[in-house]
């Protein structure tokens, strides 16, 4: 009778039970947050401009009859006179999308892949097969953060065995190849993710999108690369919300509706609606910057006031709670 030799495998594992428990909990926690944020980034639909930015049937007909030029722009100026927009094209014209037939809100751009206008569009990401914009930018940031922590954790826990591999301190088993491959894969992903995550952290601190970093927004007074920046703290709150308990969770808590944003403009656009009677034309922050008080929506205007106003606004039961609101419902209620 022929006996086939059975190879013996020696497991390479941690010996301390407490260390095993801590590593298992940390691994599954990071993995769960990584998958949750990745899922939200993929399946959260990008938000589109509300109905008020779409031209009426009569305006569309009038626009089609007018040739390109001053008459064409005059039609758009009349249609946009009551809209909360401050940005213009490079030539100073109203930003209009021929494909969607709408006046573009500030920071809105047309995605050629999705073939629609996306609110506060950052970029179209092939890794998530979705546009990254106002509705899912926070989820995208958390996806980068948790994927980076996940890869760093794997590389850190595998490092000691990787060193033993090169010093011939591991038993001669098939696990040697897996240890080497796992370390190199985790280390390479950590390097690429750290640079991408660091870049987007810088964008958040400056209140810029990827598109705005490459081409600064144009206002009536000219190009201003920091036109939407309100300071580090307020820039963070605009993306992550006022309630810090939601910051690390992939639930929607961003401020605003995506159609209008506070700006640090000093010269108010004369074509925009004026402030209602009884109110000052501008608001001032502790940094002595002047900001237009209107036509910002209520959900954004509190960013321009002091912390006491934030508390009063958050205490208003009609505003809803951060992290519990649906951006699509918010837009639907405001149109």
| pLDDT, tens only, 27-84 | 999 999 999 999 999 999 999 999 999 998 998 888 888 777 788 889 999 999 999 9
What pLDDT score was predicted for residue 300?
A: 53
Question: Is pLDDT of 266 > 50?
Answer: no
For the stretch 16-29, pLDDT in tens is: 888 889 999 999 99
What pLDDT score was predicted for residue 312?
A: 42
Question: Is pLDDT of 283 > 80?
Answer: no
First to last CA, the chain: 84
Instruction: Give residue limits of the domains in the chain.
Output: 9-45+129-246, 51-128
What pLDDT score was predicted for residue 13?
A: 64
**Look-up: residue for tokens 């100073």?**
92
What pLDDT score was predicted for residue 280?
A: 38
Residues 229/238, Cβ–Cβ less than 8 Å: no
| Beta bridge pairs of residue 54 | 102
What pLDDT score was predicted for residue 114?
A: 93
* Local confidence band at 12 (pLDDT 50, 70, 90 cut-offs): low
Mean of pLDDT values over 137-157: 97
What pLDDT score was predicted for residue 1?
A: 53
CA distance 63 to 86: 21
With 0-12 / 13-18 / 19 or more C-beta atoms within 10 angstroms meaning exposed / middle / buried, residue 332 is exposed
CA distance 221 to 254: 28
Mean of pLDDT values over 160-166: 81
Residues ≥6 apart with Cβ < 8 Å to 110: 97, 99, 100, 104, 116, 117, 118
Catalytic residues: 125
Question: Is pLDDT of 96 > 50?
Answer: yes
What pLDDT score was predicted for residue 164?
A: 80
* Local confidence band at 120 (pLDDT 50, 70, 90 cut-offs): very high
* Local confidence band at 140 (pLDDT 50, 70, 90 cut-offs): very high
With 0-12 / 13-18 / 19 or more C-beta atoms within 10 angstroms meaning exposed / middle / buried, residue 140 is buried
CA distance 27 to 21: 10
For the stretch 239-250, pLDDT in tens is: 999 999 999 999
CA distances from 8 to 5, 176, 179 (A): 9, 14, 18
List the single range of 100-109, 229-238, 296-305, 309-318 with lowest mean pLDDT: 309-318
For the stretch 292-332, pLDDT in tens is: 334 445 445 556 554 444 434 444 444 444 443 444 333 33
What pLDDT score was predicted for residue 146?
A: 98
What pLDDT score was predicted for residue 194?
A: 97
Q: Closest by alpha carbon to 318, among 335, 307, 333?
A: 333
Question: Is pLDDT of 184 > 80?
Answer: yes
Q: Pick 188 or 301 by higher pLDDT.
A: 188
Q: Pick 260 or 173 by higher pLDDT.
A: 260
């Amino acid at each position: 009778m022929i006996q086939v030799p059975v190879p013996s495998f020696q497991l390479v594992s941690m010996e301390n039970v407490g260390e095993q428990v801590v590593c298992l909990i940390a691994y599954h926690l990071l993995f769960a947050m990584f998958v949750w944020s990745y899922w939200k980034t993929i399946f959260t639909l990008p938000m589109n401009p509300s109905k008020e930015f779409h031209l009426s049937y009569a305006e569309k007909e009038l626009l089609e009859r007018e040739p390109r030029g001053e008459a064409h722009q005059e039609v758009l100026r009349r249609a946009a006179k009551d809209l909360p927009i401050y940005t213009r094209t490079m030539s100073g014209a109203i930003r209009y999308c021929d494909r969607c037939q709408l006046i573009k809100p500030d920071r809105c751009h047309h995605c050629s892949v999705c073939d629609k206008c996306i609110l506060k569009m950052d970029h179209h990401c092939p890794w998530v097969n979705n546009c990254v914009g106002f509705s899912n930018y926070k989820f995208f940031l958390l996806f980068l953060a948790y994927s980076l922590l996940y890869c760093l954790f794997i590389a850190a826990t595998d490092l000691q065995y990787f060193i033993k591999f090169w010093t011939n301190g591991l038993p001669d088993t098939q696990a040697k190849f897996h240890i080497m491959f796992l370390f190199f894969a985790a280390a390479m992903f950590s390097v690429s993710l750290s640079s991408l995550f660091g870049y987007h952290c810088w964008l958040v601190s400056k209140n810029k999108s990827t598109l705005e970093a490459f081409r600064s927004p144009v206002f009536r007074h000219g190009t201003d690369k920091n036109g939407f920046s309100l300071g580090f703290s307020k820039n963070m709150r605009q993306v992550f919300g006022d309630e810090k308990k939601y910051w690390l969770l992939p639930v929607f808590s961003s401020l605003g509706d995506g159609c209008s944003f506070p700006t640090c403009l000093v010269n108010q656009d004369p074509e925009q609606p004026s402030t209602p009677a009884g109110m000052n034309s501008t608001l001032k922050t502790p940094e002595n910057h002047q900001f237009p008080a209107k036509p910002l929506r209520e959900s954004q205007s509190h960013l321009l006031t002091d912390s006491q106003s934030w508390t009063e606004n958050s205490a208003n039961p009609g505003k809803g709670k951060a992290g519990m609101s649906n951006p699509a419902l918010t837009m639907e209620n405001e149109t």
